[in-house]
């Protein structure tokens, strides 16, 4: 009886979560439409609503350092877990880092080609708290390389989380993470405690996201009031460019690798995961399909150890869609505010995102926090531009989630092939439709290999929806 209760309760809990996301999604759409109408009908009044967008940005700014700290510390803990399972974990991590870097680079490349925010010149209309933040961060700060290095050292470990310096928080997170890693089992309770802290931080972040409709309304109204239809065109170009970039990355880039290594067509493989894609789109979260992906990878012929290691680890370290989004959104904001990023700043931002995006698969809004953290660490005066993205962030969440999911599914097939842990006869029969997946055998638990079950459980406990 006890075993049936969780199974009966799980769908109810999942349904409630989807309902909440659904209402937030609708609220953002209504707010964006209302902001556009106000900006077009009463442009002067629309400009005065800029403070609503700034309010939301300040709330996001408040949570940046805790999000960065928790995700990096737990991310390093996940690396330690994956490293314990030998060549499978090491190969998977190496691939994840390489693909995330490629995705970030592709995002920068496409952003520099499209220039979606070029010509908006929203300097006077949008900048507010961001400009003040820049003034505060540069006041009395040492100059030059030496000054920059000295500025990375916080006064205390705790002050790094309260000073507003993202780079200081990142440094402390790296130190704490590697220290806990060196402590071994003795550091496990502390790591668990930080995991609970991350739950608290993400719960606060989830609460903040319910203010997103208000922020979106004020930001869109101010931008449309200042530029008219031109702002809508730029936002549309960014969205379309992002969708196309994700499609090219999955079908052309990853599809070519899948064909070359595994020898199967990417379209037939993704068709096999069709039901999971419907689940992801309906919930704007690839996390909802994590147990099903493990089960389906095992059904298609991937060994239990590979499926149990690669899939949960990939949900933290292989966020291709989020990587593309972070770089394209950063370039858009910089151009929209009339202050484009230099090549050196773009490279620095890329390096930061490579580190900060690992383990950032939290609740909806963690992507915005990571984006804000990257801007604050490199160009604080651009932080207010995050308000421009709020209005369309929800529209891009499905593309991010689908791309993240596709990247993890393909990565699992690649690692299984490289480690010779793929039953090719089973794979061909499944893709040919001869051995369909039996939905009645689908269980939410038990699909991780015994020797990596703890790592999978930790991943599910610490991570939320991978929608950034």
**Residue 274 CB neighbour total at 10 angstroms:** 9
**151 within some domain:** yes
**3 within some domain:** no
* Residues whose CB is less than 8 angstroms from the CB of residue 129 and which lie 6 or more positions away in sequence, other chains included: 54, 57, 58, 61, 383, 384
CA 214, chain centre distance (Å): 22
Specify the CATH number for the domain of residue 455.
1.10.3860
H/E element holding 386? helix 386-418
Instruction: Output the pLDDT for position 105.
Output: 86
Q: How many domains does the chain have?
A: 1
**146 within some domain:** yes
d(CA 393, CA 325) in angstroms, rounded, equals: 9
Instruction: Output the pLDDT for position 444.
Output: 36
Q: What is the pLDDT of residues 191-208, one digit of tens each?
A: 889 889 988 887 887 788
Instruction: Output the pLDDT for position 453.
Output: 40
Q: List the beta bridge partners of residue 314.
A: none
Q: What is the pLDDT of residues 410-443, one digit of tens each?
A: 999 999 999 888 999 999 999 988 888 776 555 4
Instruction: Output the pLDDT for position 254.
Output: 94
Is 59:243 a contact under the CB 8 Å cutoff? no
Is 371:400 a contact under the CB 8 Å cutoff? no
Nearest to 361 by CA among 388, 399, 321: 321
The two tokens of residue 30 are 């209504």
**Residue 310 CB neighbour total at 10 angstroms:** 34
**272 within some domain:** yes
**291 within some domain:** yes
**9 within some domain:** no
Q: Which residues of the chain have pLDDT under 70?
A: 1-22, 25, 75, 77-86, 119-149, 151, 164-166, 227, 279, 282-288, 316, 355-368, 378, 391, 394, 439-468
Instruction: Output the pLDDT for position 191.
Output: 87
Is 191:79 a contact under the CB 8 Å cutoff? no
**468 within some domain:** no
**6 within some domain:** no
Q: List the beta bridge partners of residue 302.
A: 422
Is 357:314 a contact under the CB 8 Å cutoff? no
Range of the domain at 50: 22-462
Q: State the helix-helix crossing angle for 50-83 and 304-317, rounded to 10 degrees.
A: 150
């Amino acid at each position: 009886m006890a075993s049936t209760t969780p199974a009966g309760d799980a769908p109810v809990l999942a349904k409630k979560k989807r309902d909440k996301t659904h209402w937030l999604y609708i609220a953002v759409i209504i707010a964006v439409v209302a902001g556009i109408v106000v900006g077009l009908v009463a442009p002067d009044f629309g400009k005065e609503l800029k403070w609503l967008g700034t309010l939301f940005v300040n709330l996001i700014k408040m949570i940046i350092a805790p999000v960065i700290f928790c995700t990096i510390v737990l991310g390093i803990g996940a690396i330690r877990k994956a490293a314990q399972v030998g060549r499978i974990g090491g190969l998977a991590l190496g691939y994840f880092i390489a693909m995330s870097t490629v995705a970030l680079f592709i995002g920068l490349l496409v952003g520099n080609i499209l220039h979606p925010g070029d010509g908006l010149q929203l300097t006077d209309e949008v900048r507010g708290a961001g400009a003040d933040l820049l003034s505060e961060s540069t006041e009395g700060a040492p100059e030059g390389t030496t000054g920059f290095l000295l500025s990375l050292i916080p006064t205390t470990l705790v002050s790094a989380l309260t000073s507003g310096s993202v780079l200081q928080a990142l440094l402390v997170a790296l130190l704490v993470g590697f220290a806990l890693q060196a402590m071994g089992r003795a550091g496990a309770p502390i790591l668990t405690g930080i995991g609970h802290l991350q739950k608290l931080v993400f719960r606060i972040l989830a609460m903040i996201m319910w203010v997103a409709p208000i922020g979106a309304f004020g930001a869109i109204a101010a931008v449309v009031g200042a530029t008219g239809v031109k702002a809508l065109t730029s936002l549309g170009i960014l969205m379309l460019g992002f969708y196309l970039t994700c499609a090219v990355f999955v079908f052309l880039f990853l599809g070519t690798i899948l064909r070359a290594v595994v020898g199967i067509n990417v379209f037939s493989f993704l068709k096999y995961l069709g039901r999971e894609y419907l689940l992801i789109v309906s919930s704007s979260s690839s996390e909802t399909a994590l147990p099903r992906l493990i089960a389906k990878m095992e059904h298609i012929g991937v060994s239990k150890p590979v499926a149990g290691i690669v899939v949960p680890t990939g949900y933290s370290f292989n966020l291709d869609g989020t990587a593309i989004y972070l770089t394209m959104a950063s370039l858009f904001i910089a151009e929209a505010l009339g202050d484009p990023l230099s090549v050196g700043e773009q490279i620095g931002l890329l390096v930061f995102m490579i580190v900060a995006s690992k383990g950032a698969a939290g609740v909806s809004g963690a992507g915005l926090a990571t984006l804000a953290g990257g801007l604050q660490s490199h160009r604080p005066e651009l932080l207010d531009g995050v308000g421009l993205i709020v209005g369309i962030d929800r529209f891009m969440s499905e593309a991010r989630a689908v791309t993240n999911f596709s990247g993890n599914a393909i990565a699992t097939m690649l690692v299984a092939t490289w480690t010779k842990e793929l039953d090719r006869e089973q794979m061909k029969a499944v893709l040919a439709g001869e051995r369909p997946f039996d939905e009645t055998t689908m269980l939410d638990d038990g699909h991780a290999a015994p020797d990596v079950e703890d790592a999978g459980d930790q991943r599910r406990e610490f991570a939320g929806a991978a929608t950034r």
